[in-house]
Amino acid sequence: MGQIVLTLSKTTVAEMNQAYMAMQKPAPAGAVFAAKTDTSTITAYQSGKVLFQGEQPEVEASKWGSVEEAEIAPKKVKPKHGYEPDPSLFTSSHIGSDEAGTGDYFGPVTVAAAYVTDEQIELLREIGVKDSKNLTDSSIHSLAEKILALKIPYNLIVLHNPKYNELQAKKWTQGKIKTILHNHAINQLVKEIEPAKPTGILIDQFSQPSVYIRHLKSEGKRLTDDTYFITKAESHSIAVATASILARASFVDEMNKLSETVGIELPKGASEKVDRVAGSILRRSGPEELGQYAKMHFVNTKKAETYQ
Ligand code: MG
């Protein structure tokens, strides 16, 4: 299945709306219209972006604009392992998953999986869904709200610090913790969206797929069918970018709640500022209390002791 995106004037989009009147189908939220011909599905958005998808999207697209200059799917990159997705996955209905909080001393680990249909991809791009690393906390919040308003199916897991520390004490590496959380979030979502079946599942890669599979095996689980891994997946896949925003927004929320409980603004990351704040909590309430808010195996705990 191919895809072509043309950027057209409002007048042309209005003309198209008329021309495809007899072939229209229910448009996704936020779209001007959607239509289906023998060769392609056409979805037009407020911004003037028009998406042509199907067996021969060029048949209709070439009536309205220059297909040669149109945006086409990203070129295939050389595979690094056997689980690299075909780029066509990025424009198909798929699940993406990503996590937040793993590099932060304070706060939980949050993992989200989101299911995005091919028709929603452009719409999510329109509302500004992109790599959450380049977004501020407040824009993450408003984006997460917009995503929720679109009723995108998702699953979110929050692993709070006491449970995280317990798993660490059981010698679970952070890689294993992330693996089990991703796997759980994805499988729950797969069940929730039934009978819809995603073309594939894309995980923002944090370890070699063989390591991920080994962690699953150690807990008697297996890799879900059609699962793919790629690094920086959020820059290729809107589903991963969506999951990444939901995970990040949840992490920010949890940090705000924890800060309120502790009565100190808990800094993100793992910097010296973090050591100082951890030191003051240690001084005031001891390590058990600190374990309610922090990932105790981080080197920050040792450093915090020197601030006591
Ligand atoms: Mg990630």
Q: How many CB atoms lie within 10 A of CB 192?
A: 13
What spacing in Å lies between the alpha carbon of 29 and ligand 1's midpoint? 28
Ligand 1 center from residue 296 Cα (angstroms): 21
Distance 305 CA to ligand 1 centre (A): 30
For the stretch 132-144, pLDDT in tens is: 777 888 899 999 9
Closest CA to 185 of 242, 107, 258: 242
Q: Which of 212, 110, 200 is nearest to 155 (CA)?
A: 110
Gap from CA of 193 to ligand 1 centroid (Å): 23
Measured in Å, residue 120 CA sits from the centre of ligand 1 at: 22
Which phi and psi angles does 225 have, rounded to 5°? -55, 150
How many Å lie between the centroid of ligand 1 and the Cα of residue 66? 36
Spatial neighbors of 6 by CB under 8 A, at least 6 apart, are 49, 50, 52, 61, 64, 65, 66, 67, 70
Query: Which residues are found with C-beta within 5 Å of the ion, ligand 1?
Result: 98, 204
Q: Ligand 1 centroid vs 158 CA: distance in angstroms? A: 15
Find the 128 Cα to ligand 1 centroid distance in Å: 18
- Rounded CA gap, 260 and 158, in Å? 18
Give me the phi and psi of 34, to 5 degrees please.
-135, 140
Ligand 1: centre distance to CA 107 (Å): 16
- Residue 156 CA to ligand 1 centre (angstroms): 14
110 CA distance to ligand 1 middle (Å): 11
108 Cα to the center of ligand 1, angstroms: 15
Name the CA radius of gyration of the chain, rounded. Answer: 22
42 Cα: distance to centroid of ligand 1 (angstroms): 32
What separation in Å is there between the alpha carbon of 53 and the centre of ligand 1?
29
Centroid of ligand 1 to alpha carbon of 251 (angstroms): 13
CA distances from 3 to 45, 61, 150 (A): 15, 10, 23
Q: How far is the CA of 241 from the centre of ligand 1 (A)?
A: 9
Between the CA of 276 and the centroid of ligand 1 the distance, in Å, is: 27
Which residues of the chain fall below pLDDT 70? 1, 69-79, 308
CA–CA dist 229, 218 (Å, integer): 20
What's the order of all strands across the beta sheet hosting 154-159?
154-159, 109-116, 94-100, 200-204, 227-230
pLDDT at 30: 81
Nearest CA-CA partner of 237 in 96, 112, 62: 96
Structure tokens at 253: 């929320």
What distance in angstroms lies between residue 157's CA and the mean position of ligand 1's atoms? 14
Output the CA–CA distances (angstroms, integers) from residue 244 to 94, 101, 203, in the order listed: 14, 11, 11
Decide if 235 contacts 134 (C-beta within 8 A): no
- Cα–chain-centroid distance for residue 183? 14
Helix ranges (H only) for the chain are 10-19, 57-64, 118-126, 137-149, 161-169, 174-193, 209-218, 238-262, 272-285, 287-290, 300-305
Ligand 1 center from residue 204 Cα (angstroms):
5
Ligand 1 center to residue 62 CA distance, Å?
38
